[in-house]
């Protein structure tokens, strides 16, 4: 495997993981980066760097960020954004992979990108659920702010140090999966 593929996979993982925190922030960052040729996008994904795409992702980002600060709407958004995060993760991973085989590219995009976004989204949903349960929703703006910062910071850092950001997210994903398994095991013991 050459350096270009490894870097592209790391970039895809980092952007996809960020989509697990906020769907549209990493899409906007990738769009702006593609527009200014900071990241190369695969053939067929030139639209990602277009001005209309940047405007759409910009508006969607503002709406998404603001909506997460509205009590109870934030919990509803988690249900809606989970499949969107998988879709965004798939799209982000697929868009940066320099592969000729379209089927392999899309399968890898879905499994790695979509899976990474879904894992991060699961952790995000659980943190919001815990915040809602233990603070009656008053702690949710703090969780939302943390997610906004994580999505923005990781997306921007992924452009410049993708391998390091990807490794950090892989470690976080492993921790989330272990915690989910422990929670499931504890839940089944109680029943």
Higher pLDDT, 177 or 148: 148
**What is the pLDDT at residue 161?**
93
pTM for this entry: 0.88
**What is the pLDDT at residue 21?**
94
- Calculate what percentage of the chain has a pLDDT beyond 90: 66
Report whether 113 contacts 119 (CB < 8 A).
no
Q: Which residue has the tokens 């996008």?
A: 41
What residues have CB less than 8 Å from 30, skipping those under 6 apart? 15, 39, 48, 92, 95, 96, 155
What residues have CB less than 8 Å from 150, skipping those under 6 apart? 18, 21
- Show the domain range for 50: 3-190
Report whether 133 contacts 106 (CB < 8 A).
no
pLDDT tens digits, residue range 38-76?
Answer: 999 998 999 999 999 999 999 999 999 999 998 888 888
**What is the pLDDT at residue 74?**
83
**SS3 of residue 110 by DSSP:** helix
**What is the pLDDT at residue 114?**
96
**What is the pLDDT at residue 1?**
62
How far lies 75's CA from each of 23, 124, 145, in Å?
15, 11, 15
For 29-59, the DSSP string reads HHHHHHHTTSS---TT-GGGGSHHHHHHHHH
Rounded Cα distance, 87 and 84, in Å: 5
Q: What DSSP character marks residue 114?
A: I
Rounded Cα distance, 119 and 86, in Å: 9
**What is the pLDDT at residue 16?**
96
Overall average pLDDT of the 133-143 stretch = 88
**What is the pLDDT at residue 154?**
95
Least Cα distance to 19 among 56, 54, 57, 50 occurs for 57
Confidence category of residue 129, pLDDT binned at 50, 70, 90: confident
**SS3 of residue 3 by DSSP:** helix
Count of Cβ atoms closer than 10 Å to residue 131 Cβ: 20
Confidence category of residue 168, pLDDT binned at 50, 70, 90: very high
**What is the pLDDT at residue 22?**
96
Specify the number of domains making up the chain: 1
Alpha carbon distance, N-terminus to C-terminus of the chain: 48
């Amino acid at each position: 495997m050459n350096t270009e593929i490894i870097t592209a996979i790391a970039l895809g993982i980092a952007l996809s993981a960020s989509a697990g925190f906020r769907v549209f922030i990493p899409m906007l960052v990738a769009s702006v980066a593609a527009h200014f040729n900071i990241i190369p996008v695969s053939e067929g994904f030139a639209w990602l760097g277009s001005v209309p795409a940047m405007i759409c992702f910009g508006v969607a980002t503002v709406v998404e960020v603001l909506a997460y600060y509205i009590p109870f709407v934030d919990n509803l958004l988690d249900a809606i954004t989970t499949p969107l995060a998988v879709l965004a993760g798939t799209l982000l991973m697929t868009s940066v992979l320099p592969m000729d085989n379209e089927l392999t590219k899309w399968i890898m995009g879905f499994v790695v990108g979509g899976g990474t976004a879904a894992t991060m989204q699961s952790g995000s949903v659980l943190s919001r659920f815990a915040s809602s349960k233990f603070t009656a929703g008053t702690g949710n703006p703090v969780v939302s702010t943390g997610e906004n910062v994580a999505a923005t910071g990781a997306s921007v850092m992924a452009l410049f140090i993708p391998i390091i950001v990807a490794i950090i997210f892989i470690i976080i994903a492993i921790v989330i999966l272990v915690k989910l398994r422990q929670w499931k095991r504890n839940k089944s013991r109680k029943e």
